[in-house]
Amino acid sequence: MFKALVLNQNEGKTTAAVEQLAISDLPEEDVLIKVDYSSLNYKDGLAVTGKGKIIRNFPMVPGIDLVGTVEESADARYTKGDKVVLTGWGVGENYWGGYSQYARLKADWLVPLPKGMDPIRTMQIGTAGLTAMLCVMALEEGGVTPERGPVVVSGAAGGVGSVAVAILSGLGYTVAAITGRAETEGYLRALGASEILSRDEMAQPPRPLEKQKWAGAIDTVGDTILARMIAETDYSGVVAACGLAASFKLPSTVMPFILRNVRLQGVDSVSCPYERRTNAWQRLLTQLPENALGEIAQIIALDEVPDYAEKITNGQIQGRVVIDLN
């Protein structure tokens, strides 16, 4: 028997409780994994609290990330004892996920733990950190370099935002951080932000074109903040959009695109192809400053997840939360 957080639905309301399960309760898939750690992402918060329509089939074990050790594998790519990482692919949404001491998953979804990366660090990074790296790669692919000028990051004290600030600053970019929590200024400066911008000011609806300020931008929140970032981006700059913590709306105009050659690049981590995914993990190993993760992450127990899920959906979590399943 082992412990898992199980979501059920009762009269339209989602309930979350730690339950004892048997291995035979797990869905049939190729690889049985003993889970060491999972993490808490915004999407997990929506799933566990039921505030977002993330889960359609109950009972469900949530948790979109996990790192663990292979116990049994019907797939030749993995053998007992291998360390593996899982993020995305609908795990923790449509398939039982990482808030469990054991999981059974498809081999195709797994990535071998990058050599030299320890399991806790992997979950300190998690889907949020992977997404932050994919956003940085999107800027680079659009030609944004540190010499081109500053990069602005929204939702900066959250998971994706914090890791994005740390990576960019480690790569030599000048970083401006947008936050709604003035008290996180010291934290954001420690991660490498050199300018702190107020969420309220950045959320003012922009004119079609504003004064050019940014070579690039990473947005985790959507709505008028994303619209303002686009309107303030330099000629031929790139905006990478990955989130909707404020809203899924984008009240923008075509002007920055047709007059300033601005590129808006969407970023998805869930179905990111294997090669790009492993490349991003490899870069996270070497390019995310070691001391940054100490600042960014905290570790909690499985039974604390419902409380932290509520907090992340209220924008009250700073950085990343790791869940210890040992």
Judged by the rule CB under 6 A, the positions of this chain that interact with ligand NDP are: 41-43, 127-128, 131, 155-161, 179-181, 184, 199, 220-221, 225, 242-246, 267-270, 312, 315, 317
- As given in the structure block, the two tokens for residue 172 are 């030599």
Tokens linked to 292: 């940054």
Which stretches does DSSP call E strand in 180-313? 193-198, 214-219, 233-241, 263-266, 297-301
User: Residue 224 Cβ, how far from ligand NDP at the closest point, in Å?
Assistant: 9
Q: Which is nearer to ligand NDP, 78 or 89 (CB)?
A: 89
Q: Output the smallest distance, CB 296 to ligand NDP, in A.
A: 10
Closer residue to ligand NDP (CB): 39 or 73: 39
Nearer to ligand NDP, 159 or 206 (CB): 159
Based on CB atoms, which residue is closest to ligand NDP, 158 or 192?
A: 158
Residue nearest to ligand NDP (CB): 158
Smallest distance from ligand NDP to CB 163, Å: 8
CA dihedral over 121, 122, 127, 131, signed as positive or negative:
positive
The residue written with tokens 């992450």 in the block is 297
Pairing of strands 263-266, 233-241: parallel
Q: 103 φ, ψ to 5°?
A: -145, 150
255-260: long-range pairs with CB below 8 Å, 24+: 255/208, 255/209, 255/231, 256/208, 256/209, 256/230, 256/231, 259/209, 260/209, 260/212, 260/233, 260/234, 260/235, 260/236
Q: What is the CB-side half-sphere exposure of residue 305 using CA atoms within 13 A?
A: 34
Phi, psi at 112, each rounded to 5°: -60, 140
How far is CA 203 from each of CA 31, 223, 246, rounded to the nearest angstrom? 45, 8, 10
Closest approach, Cβ 158 to ligand NDP, in A, equals 2
Min dist CB 36 to ligand NDP, Å, is 20
Separation between Cα atoms, residue 74 and residue 105, nearest integer Å: 11
Instruction: State which residue, 84 or 312, has the beta carbon closest to ligand NDP.
Output: 312
Cis preceding-peptide flag for 251 (omega within 30 of 0): no
Is 117 or 132 the residue whose CB approaches ligand NDP more closely?
132
Closest separation in Å from C-beta 26 to ligand NDP: 25
Query: What is the closest distance, in whole angstroms, from the C-beta atom of residue 82 to ligand NDP in the complex?
Result: 25
Tell the smallest beta-carbon distance from residue 109 to ligand NDP (Å): 15
Scored b (16 or more CB within 10 A) or e, 157-187 reads bbbbbbbbbbbbbbbebbbbbbbbeeebeeb
Between 73 and 184, whose beta carbon lies closer to ligand NDP?
Answer: 184
CB of 10 or CB of 271, closer to ligand NDP = 271
